[in-house]
């Protein structure tokens, strides 16, 4: 015998599901690239929420691609293996030894753990990295300082991602690349996500962060910036509205939108189901960058 | 600028959407035949709810087929046209004049109005009847009394329904059939839905009614029967648990389940979003018949 | 045992079939839109001939689309329902009540009766109207007089027609449309046929009429105009060669040809098998309009 | 300006075309293997008629396969090349020299001339023989007398024929085969046609002959046998009803019908459009063999 | 029990196979048209080598099309049939009688013998000529002298070749064409190969000849020209470097390369496996013409 | 200008390529699972040879699946991370800490390095493990001793492998599996390869080892066993012919062959191009197990 049912609750649930319909229709068949990182990746409960969101989006016909970097696991493994971390002007230097650990942890641990989690929740995922089908071509990142084996993306071949996606899987992609000589590089995951989104002609890119979004005054919640045009961003950097670690993130958004992605979102990954809330409400939860 | 967002509310909504995921996964790619009728068809608000439910189910990958009869509209048009209603032992007799009105109202008004409503809400529907592709073959229903042009289904050709469904539309089907000589017949819509569900090897059939479901004692809500096996049904009829108009409905369910449909549901169409509640909760809302 | 065979007759038949080959080859795979109406629609024998012609064309690989309006059936039903017909400057006014009857009769009676007839003769037809897949978008027709719910086509979505056609069915289309608010409109069937032919990039459009075709002098059969260029038509209207009800028909032809349809024909639907004769002979039977 | 039209004639033509519809519907999508030979192959007018019939059948959706042997052309070329014809007990002996001429004439002249004729009349044909795709495997025919390189079919691979057919061409097949060692053999074309029809699971096989069909008394036209069952044939041979060259033909028909072909026809190729008359009338023109 | 294995030999073989990989990868999926003729066609051992090469290329994913003319077989058959050879200014005149023999021998003997040989070696070939699908349209070649039925190609329809190729067969094509009236023409096989290669947008065309390739001094092997640009060819003809029968061959190469074929090769068909050596080594064996 | 060519050498090469044709034809379209391991995986030159062999096989139409375990890299990383290796009766115990390192090294390092190597040599590979698409289901291996997180395969879902293969990639699979609770297990790679081969209905499985193959007397090369039947294997184990580490390998072969794989090979991975030599010669190089 089936259990009793709270009718009022059920009715409310049905109303909420029905209210999601226009958003589902809007995104159906579209590609959404999600850069996964921060607290949402370290907190187990948030992690499970993200996986649920992704499987739900995928199930209702939205083509989700998950891009991730590493995080504490890399540092932990390097420490455990006694590999010293070197810093150049405050930026981490990736030695030849280190890039091997990066590949091993990103592609073998972080990536496959995510794949496992999605599959365990009833989704179908396949874990890839920039080496699979040689899809992320890189060269050494040129800059003020020599950061070692940190890569600059020179080309993305979206074919393997599309093949995996069209066969019905959620592609989970670790941000490492390779050059013609076979040298592997560590790549910034935000940058990788933006390049992948552009190559896939994605509808949206969503960067998960650990802050609320852009604010005119970080102390004043009411100064939250819920949307901005690409053309306004550089001024916001000049004016000090966008600072520190948000600068490269904002530039990734601008890169993607300039490259044809319709909208870029920076959302607060600390909020449970942040992805679903952002995509399935008019108000959204984070800062939206558009043309 | 986007509007403010009530975070607690959004979070709750996201939880509810996520909670629907297992049900969506369970039904993905399956065919569900819904017999639409009763109050849910005359009350405008309930009607809109049903359409929303159907579009939502379709959007998340469940293949919905809507089967309907007529209702007050037929009587109204017959009255307006001055066609007298004749009754035999309390059962309506369908004269040659009447069956023409039935076809006209069912296929031209009820059917196309439903199609219009679905399309207006963002769905894609095509309206069919048993004459399209000659898909519902009928002969005169034999019985105690001669009820005129009331049809007994002899064969269903599911091809047109499958073709329409596979081209991405929600088929909306008016319950009229045709015999080899071209004579049109009025068909009981529950019976049509059961025959269609069987021919489509549907996962579920859902009959929308105007009562709560089966009950041991109609006065006692706690005597509600939430599930029953096909083999128990005839005894329930003998014992007077199932009476009156519920007898043919219960037999339709039995017919469908015997014919390979996994589960048949009789749900209370007076409850908003009854379809969604039934399909997206473990408890369900109506009476489920299974093997 | 098989019957005896008249050899001379058979030989003649074979010669005639063989003579049809070049025409079959010429139209194979092409789309031909036929506007069905007039006597060919009210006379049962002519009706059967039209259905045979259509099935034959379809069977030999020509993609036929049948578009129809209503006719006496609408007036009859309105009278039977006691709905008064209102006229504005001699043109019928379509009240809100009337447009409901139009939809009901066109989509439920005329349309499905045609579908039934085609299927009974061994063809495969599906009956559609402008509401199915929301394929005919309309707005209120603006003009000198307010004619009520008479529609002006704003867009045709040919997808549902193509989907039905590619699944192997003959689409039979009732000329009603719908606006964004869900209001249904009566549409002139010639206009609908021309718009549909254009949206389908049809090879030909054939308008069935109750007159012989264009004539310089209606009294003189020898003045029959067997072909005319689009650019000559307006002068013919100015000169009084084309008059009355033929003016909108001629303009439909011009619209279609200007929109990319190769040839438009106005043929005399009172002649048995007029469609076949027009398409399968060099001389043709009616007036052909081309670029 | 288009020419005048004889309306009565056109009407009659339309009626005849319409009368063909049920036959076209009956055979649509079915495979019909035609063994072409005799007068129909040597008389230019009859030849053109056969080609027209075949293209028409193909155009209306019937899948025609043409199988042919040689005829006077082989003898002519052998004579011209000074190759002596040797006879064993009245049967022609195919020497190694002769089989080379057979291949050359059948595959290079007869076959390609037929292909050319079909293409010139607007059809699309491709000429094959048993060597193409090694589709007709043969061994030396064992019998009372050694007839040289006369082949006995051991296997047919229908794939090349189906591939050609599915790509939209009419396959024209010369009756030569090959053994494992690469030795080419002359094959009886009736036998080849029957084996091909069986391997293709054809609906019908039609053997074109130079006689009226089977007759109880060859002198009495009224004794014509319009149909016979396979099980009756051997008795007819025993009783001397079927004699001489008709015996192997009748056995080919029996072989095909036993192998799953629905009906086998022996028709009089001297009658213009004999194929069309046989297929498009209830009475037929020749003798039909069935189960 | 398996036989003993010479390990050094096997290892060497494996190295050679592995060394072929880059060439296989380079040509995979590309179309290569081979004009087959000369000694490679008359010497049985060379013939078998060519067939092996073609099957191997086809098996590793290269789409090979074989085009051939006739040779001694035509002359032989004409002599055997007592048809006199007429010469105009040293060039053979193709009479109406002669062109019939050409067709018969080329399409019936040479072509089908090649098909047989490929199939016997495990390949899948289908023999075509310009008459199949009417794919080579020709007119009478105009020139100084009337050479009779020698054809000038006016159009190639590559569809039949592509259809055959895509169905997995190696097309073997005899160089005869046809005009609108159905008249067959003898065509130069080099010219046919070049026109076919152009119509197929082939990667390479390979002309098999009986000389080493282009040489500055025919007496001096060291003066061999291994590659030349199209723009250099006319000067080479003017300067007498290219003479006699090589002039039309060189012009065929130029025609193909100008028409979009990447590279044209003239290779020495007297060398066993000349095709494989040319395609699977950097140095090549013959003269390469490119843009 | 192209380089000179040694004609004798080229001719020999062509002969060798041609000699490979029958083997290529034999395996075309078939699936071959290769268990990669031992010296062939640690020696860089041998590694490159294996990759070349695999790409070549793949390029000529053989569907290769590469399955691998770990090796010294796991031990090295565990040592570097200070994880102690525990042994139970001489067998390594996989602790919870250890299985995490196994996953990380196998899936992130070994697997992706192989993928990189194949792509660098012009192949297209994608790296998978048993977690991708949850394709290798495992439970804890039951045995005499508790070996920790060593897995016993309960089911293989070949879909992800087939999807990847059909999209044109070489699947490279790391031997780790997962149970319903999400616990990861280390799996013996030979066992994984055998189970995968069986689930894919592979033609062959090839186990790369570091010994010559089975021998009656390990000291006597002439006692080499080049083939054996499955039914003979257990007796060979009983008789001490198969000993030590070869016993599980031999049982893997038996398992695969019993499961429908045509042939299982144990080859000496220390021999360069051992795979190619085994597959492309009649004699082979290792021990073949068959039904």
- Taking only the tens place, the pLDDT of each residue in A153-204 is 999 999 999 999 999 999 999 999 999 999 999 999 999 999 999 999 999 9
State how far the Cα of F197 lies from the Cα of F204, in Å rounded to an integer. 8
Any chain E CB within 8 A of the CB of F21?
A: yes
- Three-class DSSP category at B36: strand
User: D109 and E103 in contact by Cβ < 8 A?
Assistant: yes
pLDDT at residue C3 in the model: 53
Across the interface, which of F107, F111, F163 has its CB nearest the CB of A167? F163
- Three-class DSSP category at D60: coil
pTM of the model: 0.90
C-alpha dist (Å) from residue B68 to B107, B127, B171, C232, E107: 10, 11, 11, 52, 65
Please, what is the Cα angle at B26 between B24 and B28, to 5 degrees? 60
State how far the Cα of B253 lies from the Cα of D107, in Å rounded to an integer. 65
Closest approach of A152 to chain F, Cα-based (Å): 18
CA atoms within 13 A on the CB side of C174: 33
pLDDT at residue D2 in the model: 47
Closest approach of F264 to chain E, Cα-based (Å): 15
Nearest CA in chain C to D222: C4
Inter-residue contact C1 to D227 (CB < 8 Å): yes
Nearest CA in chain A to B61: A60
Question: Which domains does chain D show, CATH number per domain?
Answer: 29-290 (3.40.1160.10)
Residues from chain E contacting residue F285 (CB–CB below 8 Å) = 5, 7, 10
State how far the Cα of D197 lies from the Cα of D67, in Å rounded to an integer. 10
Residues from chain B contacting residue C66 (CB–CB below 8 Å) = none
- Three-class DSSP category at A156: strand
Inter-residue contact E226 to E263 (CB < 8 Å): no
pLDDT band at D3 (very low <50, low <70, confident <90, very high): low
pLDDT at residue D217 in the model: 85
pLDDT at residue C2 in the model: 47
- Three-class DSSP category at C28: coil
Residue ranges of chain B whose pLDDT lies below 50: 1-2
pLDDT at residue A3 in the model: 53
Identify any residues that bridge with A170 across adjacent strands, giving them in sequence order.
A125
Residues from chain A contacting residue B270 (CB–CB below 8 Å) = none
In chain A, what is the straight-line distance between the N-terminal and C-terminal CA atoms, in Å?
56
Burial class, C258, CB count within 10 angstroms (exposed 0-12 / middle 13-18 / buried 19+): middle
In chain C, what is the straight-line distance between the N-terminal and C-terminal CA atoms, in Å?
56
- Taking only the tens place, the pLDDT of each residue in D172-197 is 999 999 999 999 999 999 999 999 99
User: E169 and D163 in contact by Cβ < 8 A?
Assistant: yes
State how far the Cα of E204 lies from the Cα of E261, in Å rounded to an integer. 6
Any chain B CB within 8 A of the CB of C162?
A: no
User: C119 and B108 in contact by Cβ < 8 A?
Assistant: no
Any chain D CB within 8 A of the CB of E178?
A: yes
Any chain E CB within 8 A of the CB of D69?
A: no
Any chain B CB within 8 A of the CB of A9?
A: no
Inter-residue contact E273 to F15 (CB < 8 Å): yes
Inter-residue contact E20 to E280 (CB < 8 Å): yes
Nearest CA in chain E to F227: E1
Residues from chain C contacting residue B117 (CB–CB below 8 Å) = 182
Phi, psi (5° rounding) for residue B94? -100, 105
- Taking only the tens place, the pLDDT of each residue in F243-265 is 888 999 999 999 999 999 999 99
- Taking only the tens place, the pLDDT of each residue in A26-52 is 999 999 999 999 889 999 999 999 999
Residues from chain D contacting residue E109 (CB–CB below 8 Å) = 100, 103-104, 107-108
Percent above pLDDT 70 for chain D: 98
Nearest to E177 by CA among E118, E106, E261: E106
Any chain C CB within 8 A of the CB of B172?
A: no
State how far the Cα of F36 lies from the Cα of B38, in Å rounded to an integer. 67
Any chain A CB within 8 A of the CB of F129?
A: yes
Residues from chain F contacting residue E3 (CB–CB below 8 Å) = 282-283
State how far the Cα of F260 lies from the Cα of F225, in Å rounded to an integer. 22
pLDDT at residue E4 in the model: 54
Any chain C CB within 8 A of the CB of D20?
A: yes
Q: Average pLDDT, whole number, for chain F? A: 93
Q: Note whether C touches E: 3 CB pairs or more under 8 A.
A: no
Residues from chain E contacting residue D182 (CB–CB below 8 Å) = 116-117, 120
Query: Residue E91: which region, alpha, beta or left (left: phi > 0; alpha: psi -120 to 50)?
Result: beta
- Taking only the tens place, the pLDDT of each residue in D242-288 is 988 899 999 999 999 999 999 999 999 999 999 999 999 888 889 99
What subunits make at least 3 CB pairs under 8 angstroms with B? A, C
* Substitution target from E3, E13, E49 for chain F, most F beta carbons within 10 A: E13
Across the interface, which of E2, E272, E284 has its CB nearest the CB of F14? E272
pLDDT at residue C177 in the model: 98
- Taking only the tens place, the pLDDT of each residue in E33-75 is 999 998 899 999 999 999 999 999 999 999 999 999 987 889 8
* Substitution target from F132, F167, F183 for chain A, most A beta carbons within 10 A: F132
Residues from chain C contacting residue B112 (CB–CB below 8 Å) = 103, 107-108, 129, 131-132
Closest approach of D119 to chain C, Cα-based (Å): 13
Q: Note whether E touches B: 3 CB pairs or more under 8 A.
A: no
Any chain A CB within 8 A of the CB of F245?
A: no
- Taking only the tens place, the pLDDT of each residue in F103-116 is 999 999 999 999 99
Closest approach of F134 to chain A, Cα-based (Å): 6
- Taking only the tens place, the pLDDT of each residue in A230-244 is 999 999 999 998 988
User: B5 and A61 in contact by Cβ < 8 A?
Assistant: no
State how far the Cα of B83 lies from the Cα of B101, in Å rounded to an integer. 9
Residue ranges of chain C whose pLDDT lies below 70: 1-5
Residues from chain A contacting residue B1 (CB–CB below 8 Å) = 226-227
- Taking only the tens place, the pLDDT of each residue in F40-65 is 999 999 999 999 999 999 999 999 99
User: D5 and C273 in contact by Cβ < 8 A?
Assistant: no
Nearest to C166 by CA among F23, E235, B168, D135: B168
- Taking only the tens place, the pLDDT of each residue in C54-109 is 999 999 999 999 999 987 889 899 999 999 888 888 778 999 999 999 999 999 99
Q: Average pLDDT, whole number, for chain A? A: 93
pLDDT at residue E84 in the model: 85
Inter-residue contact C46 to C269 (CB < 8 Å): yes
User: E132 and D112 in contact by Cβ < 8 A?
Assistant: yes
| Sequence-ordered alpha helix ranges (H) in A135-290 | 159-166, 189-199, 230-238, 246-258, 274-279
Closest approach of C142 to chain D, Cα-based (Å): 39
Any chain B CB within 8 A of the CB of C172?
A: no
Residue F5 pLDDT more than 80?
A: no
- Taking only the tens place, the pLDDT of each residue in E209-239 is 998 889 888 888 888 999 999 999 999 999 9
Residues from chain C contacting residue D21 (CB–CB below 8 Å) = 52, 55-56, 59, 122
Any chain F CB within 8 A of the CB of E216?
A: no
Structure-token pair, residue C55? 């099935």
Phi, psi (5° rounding) for residue D125? -125, 155
pLDDT at residue B257 in the model: 98
Residue E98 pLDDT more than 80?
A: yes
- Three-class DSSP category at D173: strand
> What dihedral angle (degrees, nearest 10) is formed by the CA atoms of D104, D107, D109, D111?
170
Q: Which helix (H) or strand (E) holds F9?
A: helix F7-27
Nearest to A57 by CA among E200, B157, B25: B25
pLDDT at residue C236 in the model: 93
State how far the Cα of C228 lies from the Cα of C213, in Å rounded to an integer. 11
Please, what is the Cα angle at E231 between E227 and E235, to 5 degrees? 90
In sequence order, what DSSP letters do the residues of A39-107 get, joined into one string? HHHHSHHHHHHHHHHHHHHHHTT-EEEEEE---HHHHHHHHHTTPPPEEETTEEEB-HHHHHHHHIIII
Residues from chain D contacting residue C7 (CB–CB below 8 Å) = 271, 285
Across the interface, which of A17, A56, A285 has its CB nearest the CB of B276? A17
Inter-residue contact A249 to A209 (CB < 8 Å): yes
């Amino acid at each position: 015998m089936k259990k009793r049912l709270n009718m009022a609750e059920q009715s409310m649930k049905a109303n909420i599901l029905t209210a999601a319909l226009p958003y589902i229709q809007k995104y159906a068949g579209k590609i959404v690239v999600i850069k996964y990182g921060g607290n949402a990746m370290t907190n187990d409960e948030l992690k499970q929420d993200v996986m649920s969101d992704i499987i739900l989006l995928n199930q209702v016909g939205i083509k989700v691609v998950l891009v991730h970097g590493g995080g504490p696991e890399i540092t932990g493994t390097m420490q455990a293996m006694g590999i010293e971390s070197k810093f150049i002007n405050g930026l981490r230097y990736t030695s030849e030894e280190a890039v091997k650990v990066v590949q091993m942890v990103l592609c073998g641990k972080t990536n496959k753990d995510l794949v496992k989690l999605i599959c365990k929740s009833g989704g179908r995922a396949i874990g890839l990295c920039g080496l699979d089908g040689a899809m992320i071509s890189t060269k050494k990142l040129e800059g003020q300082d020599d950061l070692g084996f940190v890569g600059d993306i020179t080309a993305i071949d979206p074919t393997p991602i599309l093949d995996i996606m069209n066969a019905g899987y959620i592609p989970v992609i670790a941000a490492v690349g390779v050059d013609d000589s076979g040298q592997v590089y560590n790549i910034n995951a935000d940058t990788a996500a933006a390049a992948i989104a552009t190559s896939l002609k994605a509808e949206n890119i969503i960067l998960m962060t650990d802050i609320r979004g852009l604010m005119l005054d970080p102390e004043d919640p009411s100064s939250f910036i819920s949307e901005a045009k690409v053309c306004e961003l550089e001024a916001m950097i000049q004016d000090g509205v966008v600072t520190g670690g948000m600068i490269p993130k904002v530039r990734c958004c601008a890169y993607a939108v300039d490259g044809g992605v319709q909208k870029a979102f920076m959302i607060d990954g600390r909020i449970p189901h942040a992805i679903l809330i952002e995509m399935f409400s008019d108000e959204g939860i984070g800062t939206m960058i558009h043309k």
